[in-house]
Structures are given as structure tokens and as C-alpha cells.
Structure 1
Amino acid sequence: MKVQLPQKSIKDYLKIAKEDVEELFEMAKDLKDLKIVHVNATSYGGGVAELLYTLIPLMNNLGINTQWEILEAPMEFFNVTKKLHNAFQGAKVDLIDEELDLYVKINKENAKNLDLDADVIIIHDPQPYLIPIFKEGKYIWRCHIDTSTPNKKIWNKIIPMACDKYSKALFHLEEYIQKPFEQIAIEFPPSIDPLSDKNKKLSKDQIQKIAKRYNIDLERPIITVVARFDPWKDLKSAIDVYRILKEKSDIQLLIVSAMAKDDPEGWILFEDILRYAGTDPDIHFLTDLKGVGHLEVNAFQTISTAGLHTATKEGFGLVIAEMLWKGNPIVARPVGGIKLQVIDGYNGYLNTEVNELSNALYKIISDKSLKDELGKNAIKSVKEKFLTTSHLKRYLKIIKEVI
């Protein structure tokens, strides 16, 4: 299934990243006759879809014919691939023969039915990983999850099935690279789009209307967590941090999320977290079920006093860069790609324990000059490393190498 995409112009980024844009025009000259296809599991919910909504239109705007194909699959398939996702991040799960057979079957069907006649095909994450077995082509595997300590039993069962079909394998961090990808793997951090609805500057009126619609008090400190309902996000710890902090400061906690199509486990966790939070009126659950879209997420991040991220595993965590881009410090656990984005004491604080996270947030809430300094550094750190234009340059470089 193809995805309908918005029109975007690379020239719109000149004011933000002039040198990157000029370099992109030069790099694209040699790639104009190519066709590129990206394949992933869903067009909505989660960081991969958001990345592609920006990168693909910009590749087309540079004159490179780029398409986006979505897997066609039943929910049973996504139950299996969620297992793979968790196993690749180190969870102890089992994969029975029937589940593996379904995984192979759906990949084979999609290899036949999707439009994959292209010069380079970029496969995102485990869901479509086996497609190259059934369709010839030049393939890149783009892994968006934390594979630093995978469940070796599952990893060694799945990865060898198709690894020799890939020309390159892209991982967020060098520490995620595992056998047998060492010779073709590249560290490849993702990015945020500064002009998207989620990251563009909103008017004061827009922000106030959104805050009022969701009963958020702009006069009191706001701590915001943006995360899927996933066991690795450890949202119960976020609520624990809030409860400790609530004893010292009259704060509000915003838990912002989207219910992704390819994550059936998310609905179960959503209900569990709701029960854990209880009836506290200052804990706001803000999801697409309540009409929360990208503009609303933008507003919630913009009005935040600070961001909180309690994940115990994290592929990269683009929500961190998004919050930093709004000029707000982040308090987070030092896992995965968060360690690249949050520099302890510079644009936020890194801690592991709930009490330490709470203390760091209290420090920010209590000292406006500290918050302002951390916030200024936050914007600077994202501009230097994690914007769309630098990400796009990395992609064009890899595509040139593959062809």
C-alpha cells in the first residue's frame, strides 16, 4: 500500500540550515534518475512513520523518485513482530514454529504485492526484514530499535535468514551493531523536522486554546512525558517521579501518546497505566483517542516546564529532540540514543533512580535562570546534530554508496 504524502520544499529550510540545504542540492544531482522505495509497518504512530513523512517528500523535492510502501498484514502478524521487537531489545520471549511461519508467509506475500521495483529499497525495522529473500534488489536495513543486548536465541534465528541480502545496515548508535552486520553497519542517528506541525513555532493564541481544551493550567509547572504505551517506556516510574515531586511542588503531569496500529500490546498497557495513575486530576492522559495530533503535541511540549523520559530501553527517542527544540530541558534515564541527546548538566540531567529524577526536576522548577540556561543549550544541541537536513545528507551518501 502506498502512502499519500504532503508536498515539501527543501528551500523552506534555508533559514534554519543554509549550508546543509546547499550541500543537498549538490548531492542530489547524481541521484535524479533513481527510484527509491521505503518499506515499513505503519503510516501512523511512532517515530519511523514521522521520519518518513518528512524525508520522503524532501527526497522527491530534490528530484529523486521516492515512494513509501506499507505492509499489508493481519493483527496476528503484528503480535509476532512485537515479540521480535522486544526480543531484539533483550526481552526473554519464545517464538513458536507457527509464529515464524506466519512471519515468513506475510513477508513473502508483501514481496510479491508491494511495488518494489526500484534502484534501492530501504527496509525499516523487523516487520518487513525478510522481504529481500523473496524479491531481488539492492537493500538497506534501517533498524530503529536498541539492539545493544538482543535476545541471542531469537536474533540468531531471524537475522541470518536475510542478512546476506543487505548492502548496508543502519543503526542509531554504534553500540547497537551486532553480528553479522559489522562489515556493512553504519551509525545513523535520526532527526526531527523543525517545520512540521509537531515542531514549528505556534502562536500564543493557538497554545492557549489547546491548553484550555484539555484543562491544563498554564499557571502551574508542567512535566511532560511523550511515549508510546510500551513496557520499555516504564510509565509507572514516570508517575512515581511525579508523586514524589508533587509533595514539594504543585505540578501537573502530561502523558502524551499515540496508539500505533502495529502495537496491539499498547492497548493492554494503556489500561494498566490508567489504573496505576488512579483518579488524580493533575495526571492528564493525552492521546489520539482524545483528538491529540501533532499540533497538540507541539503545544504540550511548548508549555512544559521540563520533559521527563523514564524508558529503560530506547532506540533513539526523537521525543527528546522535539522537547529540546522547544527550549525545554529534559530529565531522563541514560539509555540508548538519549545519551547522545541529553548532556548532563548542559541541556538537562541524566539519572536512573526515581528519587534522583524527581530531585533533578525540582531543581529545574525551582530555579528559572537554570531552566532558561538549560533551555538555550537545548535548542543549540538539536540544531547542531538532529535536524532533518543533516539526516537527509546521511541518506543520500548511503544511497550513493549502495548504487
Structure 2
Amino acid sequence: MTKNRTVPTWVHFPLQSNTSRLIHVNATAKGGGVAELLSHLVESQASAGLSVGWGVISGSSEFFDLTKRIHHLLHGSGDAGLLQDDDLASLYRTTLRPQAEWFADHLAAGDVVVLHDPQTLGLAPGLSSRGMRVVWHCHIGSKPDETTPHSAVWQFFEPYLKYVDTVLTSRAEFAPTQVPESRRHVVLPAIAPESPKNRDLSDSEVDSRLSGIGLLGHEYAESEAAVEQDGPIPESAPMVLQVSRWDPLKGMAEVLRSLERLPPEAHLVLAGPEPREITDDPEGLAVLSQVRRVREAMPDALRVRAHLVTMSMADPERNALLVNALQRRADVVTQKSLQEGFGLTVTEAMLKERAVVASDVGGIRAQIRHGRTGLLVPAEDDAAFADAVAGLLRKPARRRELGLAAAAGARANFLMPRLVHDYRRLVHPTLNLQETT
């Protein structure tokens, strides 16, 4: 077992204040929806007058392998028996205990600390014992039933949940039931429309960015992404896109297999972050390798229409602009997740007036009204998914109708000022935070 590096880092240091401060803590500063969300939430809260900070925990590969397996258990898959392993319980506890002390030494009684997702929940006892108010914001989950291992996860987290003052989730059923209902609240994520990932791009800027990585056939000029393809996308070809982490729950290989059922002129792009740059996701390389094998096994005539894009996170703004350009070039955006806590890539595509086909799971249900702002299909019905995508590719007017309604829904419900307001209302109404509109 490798030695833990148990020193957190600040992404955004909380300024000293005469009133309570709000501190977000998660497992990575880049890659994935939570880091994306926090980068804009912290900025928005600071702009609203709050003394806000953002810290990131560290840990060994064994620690992040454990938390990834817990992640899968909360999504209803995996072996719950691993949580009965005393060595794994000790690994979780001993990785986070000194980091809780580190945060407590840098903060003060009365500060509010928001712990994001399972990787950080173990900080709760050390922070609470030093007089801080602890909030757990869990962005993942699935609906519990008799076949899922939620009870084992909540039993594993029992020593930490009792130190949590408030639990936030994107769906009511994601919350641990042993926390009193009065302390459980639903808070939907949000995006920033003015951010590099979501701001308006001209057609020429979209073309330039996608040409720069070689996807559209011009001379390769940029190193921000690696493109695996047999040839570029023709200028007039319809394009289907999924942007996700290389994660077994995102259904990337299944989307790729759907290509044979799509119209023969359609091209498919699967895009995700460079797995070696995502410290808290140990499965990325294996999933990317699986997707590569599926593509390589395709007949030549099919493989030429399949494009894999692996994007570097080294320059977050360039990465965000590339995702923006991909989404704006797409005719249909998909999110074929087996489970999904929320799915910010769905929100982003909706805001850009894209027609979205997504799995009828988790937080995606809170975003898409089937047949009105997008299409929902059963998560494991590959044929229904492919037929829905193919149908939209053949009906541009229907795509336009769904896209316009999707954008209106995203603007009304999923923009950052609403999330800032939710935090003020639910996390700590007495924080020195100006009202936002």
C-alpha cells in the first residue's frame, strides 16, 4: 500500500472575516461535475459578498479506489461486503482524520464547511468537534430498493453522518434516511451561462476550435486534445455527441455500439477528460481502453464515423471552450448513463438549444420533460436509445423545437444565481451574503 499524502490544498483561500465563512471541500480541483460546479459557485458566492473558500483533499490510489467503489454502491452496483473490511474502514478514517485537523487549524469555530460527496464525509467529526457547522452535499445516488446496497453504505458512514448538521442532495431519495428529514434538503446544481463552457460562440470560432484538434479536417494545430479517428467529420455530416468522464456508469461503449443503428451519414463523437489528469477516478484508463477496443473492432465503414476525443485539463479555459464548441457543433447530444446524480452536461447542452436524448434516471429526470424539452429512454434499452437518436437526426424541425424548449427550461431553473440563493436559504441564512437575483 502506498503512503498517503494527507495534506489538503487550497483552490480558493477564505479571506478573514468578522462573520462566519463558507468553505467548500471536495476531492479534485479539475475534472468532473463537482469541480466544474464549484469553480463557478465559489466565484459567484464571492461576488455576492461572502467570504468563501475551496479546499481539496488528497489521498492514496487505494483511498480513491475505495471511494470510487462506494460511489458505485450508491448507484446500486458493486459488492457491499467490501465495507465490512476493517482495513478499508481504517484507510478511510486515517486518510481523512489528519486532513480534518489541517482544515480546522486554518478555520475557526462558527465557519460553515460543506463537504462534497463521499470522499470528504470522513472530515465531519474533526470539524464538528472544533465548533464548525458541517454540511454534506452529496451529488450522487440512485433510488434505493431491495436490490441495492444503500443500507451498507449508510452503515459505513454512520460514524460520520451523526456529525453532519445538514444534508443536501439533488434528489430526495439520494439522502441517508437516518438523518432527520428536517435536516435533509433537495438542491439542484446549476451552470454559469457566461462561463467559457457556456458563453456564445460564433460558427467560425466553433469551426476553428474543432479544426484545431483535427476533428473537422483542417491541419492539426492544438495539443489540448487527442483525437482518435480514421478521418475527419465531413462539413455537412450530422454529428451526435456525448461528453462524459470515462466511467463505467456513463455508458460510453454502449453509445458507440449504437452507431450501427444511426443514419449512414451520421458521425459520433465521444469526448472525455484525459484520465491520467483526474486524481480521484482510478477507472478512467480502463474504461477508455474498453471504448477503444469497441471502436477498433468495428468494420471500416462504421469505424470511420466514430471519433474519440481525449481532452487535457491542463488549461481549464481551453478545455471548457473545446467542450462548448463540441456541444454547439452537435445535432444531437446524448447522456446514456446507467445512473446519474444530476448530469451537468445535459444542462449545458440544453442551454445551447441542443436536442438531448438521455437515460431516464436520477437527476436527469429533474431536467428533461420527456417529449417537451428532450427525450428520456430506459437506461438499459439500447435499441430505444438508438431509435430515439436516429429519429431526431431525421427530423431537424423536431430537434429545433426540443432545443428551444430545453434552453428555456435551463434558463428558468438551472442557472447559478438560483444555486447561490439556495445556499443562502438552506446552508446558513446568517452568512454575510448579499441577495442575488
TM-score (structure 2 length as normaliser): 0.82
Cα distance, 1:77 vs. partner? 1.1
For residues 286-365 of structure 1, the aligned pairs below 5 Å read: 286-289=309-312, 293-352=319-378, 353-365=381-393
Residue in structure 1 matched with residue 98 of structure 2 by the alignment: 109
Q: 1:281 to 1:48 in 2, by over 3 A?
A: same
Tell me the SS of whatever aligns to 2:182. Answer: coil
More helix by share: 1
Distance 1:255 1:402, change over 3 A: farther
Superposed CA RMSD in Å reads 1.9
- Note the 1:128-147 alignment, pairs <5 A: 128-136=120-128, 137-147=132-142
Alignment partners' CA distance in 2, 1:156 and 1:376: 41
What is the distance in 1 between the residues matched to 2:38 and 2:178? 27
Alignment of 1:133-172 (within 5 A): 133-136=125-128, 137-149=132-144, 150-152=148-150, 154-172=152-170
2:290 equivalent in structure 1: 272
* Alpha-carbon displacement from aligned partner over 1:14-47 (angstroms, at most 9, x marks no partner): xxxxxxxxxxxxxxxxx98331111100001000
Structure 2 counterpart SS, 1:284: strand
Deviation (angstroms), 1:61: 1.5
Q: Is it true that 1:33 corresponds to 2:19 in the alignment?
A: yes
Matches within 5 A, 1:378-397: 378-397=406-425
Give the percent of matched residue pairs that are identical in Structure 1 and Structure 2. Answer: 26
CA distance in 1, matches of 2:18, 2:390: 52
Q: 1:281 aligns with which of 301, 304, 315?
A: 304
Structure 1's consecutive aligned runs of 4 or more residues displaced over 6 angstroms after TM superposition are none
Counterparts of 1:62 and 1:34 in 2: how far apart (Å)? 15
Aligned partners of 2:117 and 2:137 also within 8 Å: yes
Structure 1 alignment gaps of length 5 or more: 6-30
2:279 to 243, 256, 261: 261
Output the amino acid matched with 1:79. D
CA contact (8 A) 2:166 2:427 kept: no
The amino acid across from 1:285 in the alignment is L
Report the alpha carbon displacement of residue 191 of structure 1 after superposing the two structures with TM: 0.7
Aligned to 1:26: none
SS at match of 2:307: strand
Map 1:44-193 → 2, pairs under 5 A: 44-93=30-79, 94-95=82-83, 96-114=85-103, 115-117=106-108, 119-136=111-128, 137-149=132-144, 150-152=148-150, 154-181=152-179, 182-193=181-192
Q: CA deviation at 1:116?
A: 3.9
**Residue 266 (structure 2) pairs with residue 251 (structure 1):** yes
Aligned pair count? 376
C-alpha distance 131-299 of structure 1, shift in aligned 2 (>3 A): same
Give the Cα–Cα distance (whole angstroms) in 1 for the partners of residues 264 and 377 of structure 2: 20
Quote the offset at 1:135 in angstroms: 2.4
TM-score normalised by the chain length of structure 1: 0.89
The DSSP-based 3-state class of the residue aligned with 1:33 is: coil
Structure 2 partner of 1:210: 209
Q: Secondary structure at the match of 2:333?
A: strand
Show the counterpart of 1:13.
Answer: none
